[in-house]
Amino acid sequence: MKSERDATVIGAGIVGVCSALHLQREGFRVRLIERGEPGKAASFGNSGNFGVASCVPFAVPGVLKKVPRMLFDPNSPLKLRWSHVPRALPWFLRFIASARPSRVESIAAARSSLLQHTRAGYAPLIESAGAEKWIDDSGLLTTFESEAAFRDAAYAMALRRRHGIHMDVLDGNEARQMEPALSDKVVRAVSIPAVAHTIDPLRFTEALAADFVRRGGEIVNAEVRGFEFGDAGPSKLLTDRGPMAVDRIVIAAGVWSRTLAAQLGTAVPLEAERGYHVMFANPPTRLRRAIMSADRNIAVTHMAEGIRATGIAEFAAPDAPANMANARMIARHARALVPGLMGEPTSQWMGPRPSHPDSKPVIARSPRHANVFFAFGHDHIGLALAGITGKLVAELVAEKPPSIDLEPFRADRF
C-alpha cells in the first residue's frame, strides 16, 4: 500500500539527489529514478566549483555584439551545431532579450537570492553523509592576461559587489604569489575567498546518494518515457521497466526535463548547453586553489585524481556525438594558463548543462498538475544551487511556505 507521504524524484544528478534527501527530512518516503548511474551526467564532469559568486547571468549588456563573432570564431568558447539552429533560434532570441540592463539586474538578484543559501542548503546533507572530505575551501582565483580583459570585467565585478561578494584585486605578481603555477602572461587577478569546490563531483554525489539509501530511500534504474493520468493528475510513470504508481512527482532530470515537462503540459525553453572537460592525471604541478580564466573562458581545478580543465558552451542536441576538438582546445588553453600541465590529457568528457535563456532555474509547482514539482535548468551553477533547490522543493511538496521567494523561478514565466 502506498504511504500517504510518498514522493518520486525523476533524475539522480546532484539536484535530484539533494531534492530526495530534503524530502526525506520532511518525512516523505522517497523513490529516486535514474536511467543511468547517479551523478553520471552533467553532475559528473563540471569544474567542481560551488559558484556562490555566480550571480552574473550568461547574457549581459553588450552580448549582442559579441555572439555573432563568437559563433564563427573556431577558437571561441561558444559553439552552435548548425543542424541545431532551427531549434535553438527561439532560445537565442530570448537570451538576447535577457541582456537588457534592467533584466540583468533582476536576474542577478534572483540568482543571488539562491546562491547566498548554498552552504545552508548543503550543510545538513554533507554532515549526515560524511562528505566533508570531498570539499576544499581554498577559494577561487579569476585571472586576466590583459588590461583590456580586466576592464571588460568591471560590470560583472560591480554586480557581484552589489550582491555582497568580497573580492581582492591583485596584480600579476601577487596572483603568482598566491598561485605559483600560473603563467607569466597573467597581469591581473581577482581572488574570491568564499568559493569552495569539490575535489570529485561524482564521489561527492555518490556519497549523498548512498546516504539517501541508508536513510531508507530507493534508487530505481529506469527510463521514464511518459505518464498515465488520473483524476488528480499523473498517477503512473510509464518506464522501460513497466508502469510505476506515483503520488507526488519531482522532475529533476536536467536537460531531459524539457520533454517530461512538455508531456505534462508545460513548455519550457530548456537547451543543452554542452560542456567539455579534460583531466591531467599526476601532473608535476599542484594548484593551491581553483582558477577561472576570463580570457580563455576555462576553469582549472585540482581534483582528487589530477587537474581538471573545463569549458565550452556548445548548443546541440543532448545526445548528439561529442566533438572532442573542443576538449583539445580546452587542453591547449589549460597548458598555456598553467605551464606545468605537460603532455596530453588522460581523459576527455562531454556533458549537457540544462540552461534557460534567462540563466535562472525553474523551481516551482507545475502550473497544470498539483502533484508535480519542477527543479531543473540550473545552467552553470547546478552544483552550487542543488542543496537549496532541494530544500525549496521539499518545502513546496510538504505544503510549507518556501524559505525564498520563488516568483522569479516560475515555470510559466516564459
Confidence category of residue 29, pLDDT binned at 50, 70, 90: very high
Amino acid identity, residue 359? S
State the Cα–Cα distance between residues 124 and 136, nearest whole angstrom.
Answer: 17
184 located within any domain: yes
**pLDDT score recorded for residue 224:** 98
Tell me what percent of the residues of the chain surpass a pLDDT of 70. Answer: 99
289 located within any domain: yes
Return the residue matching grid coordinates 532579450.
97
Task: Supply the mean pLDDT for the chain.
Answer: 95
Return the closest-CA partner of residue 195 out of 141, 157, 159: 141
Q: What is the pLDDT of residues 209-241, one digit of tens each?
A: 999 999 999 999 999 999 999 988 999 999 999
Question: What is the model's pTM?
Answer: 0.96
Handedness of CA 288, 292, 298, 303 (dihedral sign): positive
Angle between helices 101-115 and 382-397 (to 10 degrees): 70
Return the residue matching grid coordinates 524524484.
9
Q: What is the pLDDT of residues 184-209, one digit of tens each?
A: 999 999 999 999 999 999 999 999 99
Bigger pLDDT: 384 vs 282: 384
Confidence category of residue 1, pLDDT binned at 50, 70, 90: very low
Averaged pLDDT for residues 313-340: 95
Give how many domains the chain has, as a whole number: 1
130 located within any domain: no
186 located within any domain: yes
DSSP symbol at 266: -
The domain in which residue 340 lies consists of 57-99+135-194+271-355
- In the β-sheet with 196-198, what is the strand arrangement from edge to edge? 49-50, 196-198, 135-136
State the Cα–Cα distance between residues 8 and 393, nearest whole angstrom.
Answer: 12
**pLDDT score recorded for residue 41:** 83
Averaged pLDDT for residues 14-41: 95
115 located within any domain: no
244 located within any domain: no
Strands (E) across 17-117 are located at 29-34, 49-50, 78-80
**pLDDT score recorded for residue 63:** 73
**pLDDT score recorded for residue 353:** 94
Q: Is the pLDDT of residue 178 over 70?
A: yes
State the Cα–Cα distance between residues 167 and 53, nearest whole angstrom.
Answer: 10
Confidence category of residue 99, pLDDT binned at 50, 70, 90: very high
CB-CB contact of 365 with 345 (8 Å): no
Confidence category of residue 3, pLDDT binned at 50, 70, 90: low
The CATH number of the domain holding residue 172 is 3.30.9.10
Return the closest-CA partner of residue 209 out of 397, 29, 77, 15: 15
Q: Is the pLDDT of residue 391 over 60?
A: yes
Q: Is the pLDDT of residue 76 over 90?
A: no
Confidence category of residue 70, pLDDT binned at 50, 70, 90: confident
Q: Is the pLDDT of residue 64 over 80?
A: no
401 located within any domain: no
399 located within any domain: no
**pLDDT score recorded for residue 73:** 79
